[in-house]
Amino acid sequence: MNPLSLFVTIAGCSAMLSTAVRAEGYQLKNHSLFRADADARIPFWPIGWQKPNAKGGAGAASVEADTAKVQLQPHHFNISGILLGNPALVTINGRSFAEGELLPVISGSQRLRVVVRSIRDGGVWLDHEGQQTFVPLRRPELGNKPSQQKAEPVEFAIKIAPGQK
């Protein structure tokens, strides 16, 4: 038998079989479905993030009241170095940050959303819920001894006292 005729015969048989399968139709037995409670954590958010209380209960009001009390002050942060380049970097409390990065600031038991807005020569602008704070670069005085470096904790966080001015 010629290889071409063999190919045509096999192709014809497979075409007939595929039309027979299509003619039956396919019934899906198990539909996949994802259901989550209204209070469930959104799976794409980072671990630890939670939805704000949509009902506006007392829990949501107290959290908003706690974060509203916090006023960022320049003395909360220690700016020890600024690198004006592409990207511009700033050293805040011993860690480097670029513009747009979040600072790990904790006030009491609340994590605050503090963003490095802009890095300028001589200081940095920080933003917390629309409150802009300029933190100047602290230059060491001549004649002072360099301070001893402390051992860094496993998780870096800038802790400020709530209601501190």
The CATH architecture one would assign to domain 61-141 is Roll (2.30)
Q: What single DSSP character describes residue 46?
A: P
pTM of the model: 0.50
Longest CA–CA span in the chain (Å) reads 101
Q: Tell me the C-alpha distance between 53 and 51, whole Å.
A: 6
3-state secondary structure of 15: helix
Q: Within its chain, how far is the Cα of 89 from the centroid?
A: 19
Q: Does residue 116 contact residue 99 with C-beta atoms inside 8 Å?
A: yes
3-state secondary structure of 92: strand
Compute CA distances 30 → 1, 24, 25, 33, 72, whole Å.
47, 18, 16, 9, 55
Torsion of CA 147, 87, 48, 159, to 10 degrees: 20
Q: Per residue of the chain (165 residues), give pLDDT as tens.
A: 676 676 667 766 666 655 544 546 777 788 787 777 777 777 777 877 766 665 544 444 555 554 456 788 888 888 988 999 888 999 998 899 999 999 988 888 888 889 999 999 889 999 988 889 999 988 766 665 655 555 555 677 778 877 655
Going by C-alpha positions, the residue among 87, 67, 82, 81 that lies closest to residue 131 is: 67
